[in-house]
Amino acid sequence: MVASDLVPVFTENFSNNLESLRDFLGVEGRSAFEQLLDRLFDDIVPTICRFPMSGRALLQRPIQSIETETRVKQIQQLLRPGDELREFIVDEYIVLYMKRSRRLLFLAIKHHRQLSFEFNQFWA
């Protein structure tokens, strides 16, 4: 598949995360948030669309707890054959996305100081 065939899709959760990031960074972080938005749509999203496997495979990390093992098994049951769940780290942010067929689903974005991803929100 030619990477240019991939269509970016932004989930409601991704949009909600951006709003949370804006609140998290606060008034003093307004400039940083605007820079993030510019970089996200001018650089990060096009890069991931062009090179979708450039992010690290999320489920390939070493499992170091029972809780993580349980969560990984739950996530694996939700994935379809051929899905690639990946994370792309840029500056202080982590972008969680999934390559599914000809689409790139942008699932979440977090500042590294925020809480972890809530996977229950990604699948109905």
Which of residues 119 and 91 earns the better pLDDT score?
A: 91
pLDDT on residue 113:
81
CA dihedral sign of residues 44, 49, 79, 69: negative
* Mean pLDDT rounded to a whole number for the chain: 89
Domain boundary assignment for the chain: 3-113
pLDDT tens sequence across 5-58: 799 999 999 999 999 999 999 999 999 999 999 999 999 999 999 999 999 999
Where in the chain does DSSP place strands (E)?
A: 7-10, 56-57, 84-90, 93-100, 103-111
Buried b / exposed e along 60-96 (16+ C-beta atoms within 10 A): eeeeeeeeeeeeeeebeeeeeeeebbbbbebeebbbb
Pairing of strands 103-111, 7-10: parallel
Global pTM? 0.83
Over range 103-117, report the average pLDDT.
85
Q: Quick one: CATH architecture of 3-113?
A: 2-Layer Sandwich (3.30)
Q: Is the pLDDT of residue 118 over 70?
A: no
- Predicted confidence band at 62 (pLDDT cuts at 50, 70, 90)? confident
- Predicted confidence band at 84 (pLDDT cuts at 50, 70, 90)? very high
- Cα separation, 32 vs 46, whole angstroms: 20
